[in-house]
């Protein structure tokens, strides 16, 4: 099982890993020593992978301490050094928040097009497969397609969907779902909210209203507020995370669409800069492609097993 998860993550992060490998290969490393000029070139490559300036500087310092003056034989050798540095600096996976009793309420938030509704459906399917009884609140009442999408996912996984007429109060839908879950002995409540730009204050205030509504039925709810971030946005995800955290107290991140971008380092960047744990990473369309974040495996997925083009500059120096 773990081997299949590792394979999915490696496949999902391939574009990021290959982009790094291609740029490293262009450095012409065969016979080249690790000196300050090379380290500066490496730093630029790391920043373009959306690892962030701070982490890029730390990895370069790692090179200075462990490999300065060392003659490299190949690009793969440098990638191994970077992997060692990453493994020591990845954001740790924090334990999920769960109430002592009653259903756990998770609020799903994010900007338009981040993959939030799909992620909600995938989580519902995952929990149901684990034997949990799941209710999904279709609190995106302004987009009929989102509700229909949730229904499809719910039917696949055996979860129940609570929905209302288009244009209904999202907070009321969330409240009804939590009340039904409590009365029916459900284990998980997932509240899918409408996508919204983090710069729109009235829409952000609506999230606060939803949070207050579910807390009226279950004290301390929502227990988790997961921000879904499209991995293709790169460092723009930091601004999103900061605004959503201020509005509703984000407790964890879900990074989606990582299979379609060469900017997979954003997971590391956001987690480190804002101190938010990464809960899940999405590397494909299937429910099985929503993976638990594992710091060591993610680091390996970013740099391990990179394929170097036969025409790369390693031997050209």
According to the model, what pLDDT value does residue 1 have?
41
The burial of 132, by beta-carbon neighbours within 10 Å (0-12 exposed, 13-18 middle, 19 or more buried), is given as: middle
The per-residue pLDDT for range 14-28, each reduced to its tens digit, is 888 888 888 998 998
Token pair of 43, please?
């730093």
Domains and CATH numbers, the chain: 2-92+301-308 (1.20.120), 104-294 (3.40.50.300)
pLDDT at 205: 86
In this prediction, residue 40 has a pLDDT band, given cuts at 50, 70 and 90, of very high
> How high does pLDDT run on average in the chain?
86
Looking at residue 227, its pLDDT comes to 94
- How does residue 2 score in pLDDT terms, banded at 50, 70 and 90? very low
The pLDDT value recorded for residue 316 is 42
Is the predicted pLDDT of residue 193 greater than 90, yes or no? yes
The pair phi, psi for residue 71, each rounded to 5°, is: -90, 125
Reported as a single tens digit per residue, the pLDDT across 161-182 is: 999 888 899 999 999 999 999 9
Q: Is pLDDT of 155 > 90? A: no
* Residue 199: predicted pLDDT: 62
Q: What is the pLDDT of residues 275-286, one digit of tens each?
A: 888 999 998 888
> What pLDDT, on a 0 to 100 scale, did the predictor assign at position 4?
60
pLDDT the model gives residue 216: 94
Given a cut of 80, whether residue 261 has pLDDT beyond it is no
Residue 146 confidence (pLDDT)? 78
* pLDDT at residue 305 greater than cutoff 80: no
Per-residue confidence (pLDDT) for residue 72, from 0 to 100: 93
**In terms of pLDDT, which residue wins out, 38 or 147?**
38
């Amino acid at each position: 099982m773990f081997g299949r998860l590792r394979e999915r993550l490696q496949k999902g992060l391939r574009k990021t890993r290959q982009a790094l490998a291609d740029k490293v290969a262009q450095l012409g490393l065969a016979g080249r020593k690790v000196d300050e000029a090379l380290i500066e070139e490496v730093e630029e490559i790391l920043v373009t992978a959306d690892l962030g300036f701070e982490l890029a500087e730390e990895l370069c310092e790692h090179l200075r301490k462990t490999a300065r003056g060392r003659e490299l034989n190949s690009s793969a050798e440098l990638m191994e050094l970077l992997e060692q540095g990453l493994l020591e600096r990845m954001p740790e996976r924090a334990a999920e928040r769960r109430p002592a009793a009653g259903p756990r309420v998770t609020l799903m938030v994010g900007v338009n097009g981040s993959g939030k509704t799909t992620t909600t459906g995938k989580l519902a399917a995952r929990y149901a497969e684990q034997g949990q009884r799941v209710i999904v609140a279709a609190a995106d009442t302004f987009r009929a397609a989102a509700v229909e999408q949730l229904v499809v996912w719910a039917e696949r996984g055996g979860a129940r969907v609570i929905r209302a007429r288009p244009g209904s109060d999202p907070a009321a839908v969330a409240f009804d779902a939590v009340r039904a879950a409590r009365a029916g002995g459900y284990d998980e409540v997932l509240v899918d909210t409408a996508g919204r730009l983090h710069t729109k204050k009235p829409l952000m205030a609506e999230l606060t209203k939803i949070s207050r509504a579910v807390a009226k039925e279950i004290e301390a709810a929502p227990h988790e507020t997961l921000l879904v971030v499209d991995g293709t946005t790169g460092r723009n995800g930091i601004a999103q995370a900061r605004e959503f955290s201020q509005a509703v107290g984000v407790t964890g991140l879900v990074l989606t669409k990582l299979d379609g971008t060469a900017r997979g380092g954003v997971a590391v960047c956001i987690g480190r800069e804002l101190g938010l744990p990464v809960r899940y990473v999405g590397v494909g369309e299937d429910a099985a492609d929503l993976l638990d974040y594992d710091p060591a495996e993610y680091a390996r997925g970013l740099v391990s097993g990179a394929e170097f083009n036969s025409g790369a500059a390693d031997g050209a120096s």
